[in-house]
Structure 1
Amino acid sequence: MAGATDPPETTLDLPPVGLGTMGLDGDDGARAVGTALDLGYRHLDTAQVYGNEASVGAGLAAALYDGTVARGDVTVATKTWIDRLAPEDVRPSTEASLDRLGLDAVDLLYVHRPKGRYDPEGTLAAYDRLVDDGLVRHVGVSNFAPPELDEAMDRLDAPLAAHQTEYHPLFRRPALREHAVEHGYALVAYSPLAGGRVREVEAVRAVAERHDATPEAVAVAWLVGKEGVVTIPKASSEAHLRANLAAADLELDPEDEARIDAVEREEELFPE
């Protein structure tokens, strides 16, 4: 297994743009992860339910072997699916994830959704034990509402490091971002391109034309320009991987941001 077990850390510094891997599997997925790391990505996001932890691990292992990256420079995140959130299932499911990833410890473990076998008291106590035992470095949650976030923070001994949620120009949740900023954890925005729908949004297209950029780049820039927000767009081709990473350097004006913030159309891609 790659990587030594380090003491728990209290804060997690995530890069503006990481790699979402849902749908990246098999040898092609491993190659995409390797390409991303070679280009400079340092945050890899997967989940048990994606069925691709082994591919993510293989891509990372190849990059570690050839010296592209050092293990300590890459944040690897995965998520416990709702049918494995019973307190007695958390540890064995995490150990299975680590085995598939080829790691001694995962940098960030999320509760994927507060559904199914999720029990705030028991589940989160099991997460704390994983941190204490060095199998998990940081604890996160995903798809939580503000009251659920408050309860999780009350239950956890470990600091809440991140909250992952759908967030894009067609699905904005400013209350979640404000909660993240107030409490000092990262809001990790998934599906930032709205499954390609950002190209259909007039405000995004107009801002893109103004900056001689693509709508996809504008959507990423709009997100990472917000305090406390990082994002994890999925991409497999080198061209798209490069474009998403470069989009973090695109600076939007306050007027641009306000124009996108005012979009009235709303579409949630992954409802409960």
Structure 2
Amino acid sequence: MRKRSAVALTIVVSIGALAMFFPFLWTIITSISSGAGLSASPQLIPDDPSLSAYAELFDNTPFLQVIANSLGLAIATTVAQLATSALAAYAFSRLPFRGSNLVFAIYLATMMIPIQVLIVPLFIEIKMLGLLNTYVGVLLPGLASAFGVFLLRQAMNAVPRELDEAAKIDGAGHFRIFGTIVMPLVGPAVATLTVFAFMSSWNSFLWPLIVLRTPELQTLPIALAGLQGQYTTQWDVLMAGSVISVIPMVLIYIFAQRYVIQGVANTGIK
């Protein structure tokens, strides 16, 4: 009975994995099918695979500059969120103060506010600060993350406080405890936040579209949207851009997969 259940579960999981992977596989196949368009759907195994779509993409568009723009913004956003989230999480976890639970609850409640509601006030604020069409204007709203604070706080709560007490006996202060004891022990949660923060910035479309006006400053999602107008029926070029946009996320997830799963699991352990 158990063997049958295991086999059935394996079949179901395999079908689900195939269903999720197939669109990405079809995107890759389309990108290497030269001249693929609405009238010529690509085959599962292309007769004459070619990288001409990638060559055309980089030759006729500033795609390399666009990738550099998105990569720089994603790295800056990730570093900023790691720093602010780690410090705030340590304060909520190790420096309790009157009303800290209420402040934390209110801070988490901001996660329920859709970004569309904040677009207009954020735009007015950025405009008054003179930061339109600048990367600083794109970065400011994403310097802190309520999700990141929650994730790291839950991980820090699982770290035994006896380690803090032993360090204090040896004369360590909060900054030393934070840097040498707590942070090394919440590595999986940090890796999880790194992946989520990088992915959020890398895929961000609406806010960069509103703030950035110069084509040279545009990010990858905006450039991909522009390709739909420039290469309307050249699906191989469109899919080549899509494949390039996915590659960094696949690589970073493969590298941090074990830590991501462990970090998400640890947030539910009290």
Same fold (TM > 0.5): no
Choose 1 or 2 for highest CA Rg. 2
Identify, as 1 or 2, the structure richer in strand: 1
Q: TM-score, normalised by structure 1?
A: 0.22
Identify, as 1 or 2, the structure richer in helix: 2
Q: TM-score, normalised by structure 2?
A: 0.22
